[in-house]
Amino acid sequence: MRRASTLASSVLSRTLATAHGGAVSDATSLSIQHRLLQAALYGSRTGNAHSQQRWFSPLFSSSSVKRASVGAAGALIAVVTATSLGQEVYAKESALPEAVPKDVILYQYEACPFCNKVKAFLDYYDIPYKVVEVNPISRKEIKWSDYKKVPILMVDGEQLNDSSAIIDKLSEKVFSKKKADLTSEEDEETKWRQWVDNHLVHVLSPNIYRNTSEALEAFDYITSNGNFSFTEKITVKYAGAAAMYFVSKNLKKKYNITDERAALYEAAETWADSLNGREFLGGSNPNLADLAVFGVLRPIRYLRSGKDMVEHTRIGEWYTRMENVVGNSSRIKA
């Protein structure tokens, strides 16, 4: 119960403190543009990396100990009261400790919704992972791989490709089970995971790049967080935003989208309907479909399109619950 723990740490710490006082050919250029556009389909926000604080308690006088004890008791009461009165607290599911991989490396574009889907799984199950940001122009970071798309996940030396396949394989590893015979709940989960890949992701790009100002907003984040040189940042921000504005119009036609915002709102409402009064599709805890929807929406949540989506649909409460239960990123330094 991470939120309660954080609140307890904050209150207890204050109590203790009180007690103690490049040129290329045309063909290559086109190839680079294609890869860049693939990488830049979405803007993204990620959680902060884990931070840990250690409290060192020096020797206290007898009176200080008494004050600290009384204060600590009061802090615990305050935590219980605040939690029960004003906050929803969700317990995370635990992976089997002996099954958690020892070395996980994610090759990604920070702006990729499918990469964010994998990260949502890793974050929720507290699986530590390192990130290698791939330059979408040169892709030199994955030249060693025959598979040239992201995400690529290396798990204890084994290469896993494609976001849904990665999550399936991780689920088998972490929970030591295979989904041979689907229960009705797992069948529902599979249905909605497919909906994410086959429908939800396709309405995102036309919304992110709906107009020039929203395209620039997205690329401002992409170039600030992606693996670009200084020159690439300047070029990509403006040229990329302009290019994606026109690309998004073609995507609207391809997927028969007449009103991009209406399509986004409809998708959000469809997901809200699927919950059927439940906190999560998985019931009291998120399942893989919850994590998939949350993962692909994280890139747009704090862009204009994501803010509009939350304001005009019923998805906001579910999304907030997911933010709380997924918690901070499990990313560690590479």
For 125-166, the pLDDT digits (tens) are 999 999 999 988 889 999 999 999 999 999 999 999 999 999
Q: Is 124 a catalytic residue?
A: no
How far separated are the first and last CA of the chain, in Å rounded? 27
Q: Is 109 a catalytic residue?
A: yes
pLDDT band at 97 (very low <50, low <70, confident <90, very high): confident
Q: Given a cut of 90, is residue 276 above it in pLDDT?
A: yes
- Tokens 């893989």 belong to residue: 288
Rounded Cα distance, 87 and 108, in Å: 34
Could you say which of 42, 90, 114, 121 is catalytic?
A: 114
Could you say which of 42, 90, 107, 109 is catalytic?
A: 109
Quote the radius of gyration of the chain (alpha carbons, Å). Answer: 23
| SS3 at position 40 | coil
Highest mean pLDDT among 175-179, 224-228, 239-243, 294-298: 294-298
Average pLDDT of 202-210? 95
pLDDT band at 88 (very low <50, low <70, confident <90, very high): low
Could you say which of 107, 112, 219, 280 is catalytic?
A: 112
pLDDT at 57: 36
| Nearest CA-CA partner of 271 in 225, 307, 228, 318 | 318
Please give the CATH architecture assigned to the domain spanning 35-48+92-326: Up-down Bundle (1.20)
Q: Is 114 a catalytic residue?
A: yes
Residues paired with residue 280 on neighbouring β-strands, in sequence order: 283
Rounded Cα distance, 298 and 300, in Å: 5
Q: Is 107 a catalytic residue?
A: no
Mean pLDDT estimate for the chain: 79
Rounded Cα distance, 68 and 22, in Å: 63
pLDDT at 277: 96
Q: Where are the domains of the chain?
A: 35-48+92-326
Amino acid identity of 4? Answer: A
| Nearest CA-CA partner of 55 in 15, 13, 18 | 13
pLDDT at 50: 39
pLDDT band at 34 (very low <50, low <70, confident <90, very high): low
- Tokens 């009291």 belong to residue: 284
Cis peptide before 101 (omega within 30 of 0): no
Average pLDDT of 233-255? 92
Average pLDDT of 213-242? 89
Rounded Cα distance, 100 and 315, in Å: 32
Count the residues in the chain.
334
Query: Which pair of tokens denotes residue 256?
Result: 């028969």
pLDDT band at 43 (very low <50, low <70, confident <90, very high): very low
pLDDT at 275: 98
Asked whether 286 and 324 are in contact (CB, 8 A), the reply is: no
Q: pLDDT digit string (tens) for 283-326?
A: 999 999 999 999 999 999 999 999 999 999 999 999 999 999 99
- 250 vs 12, which has greater pLDDT? 250
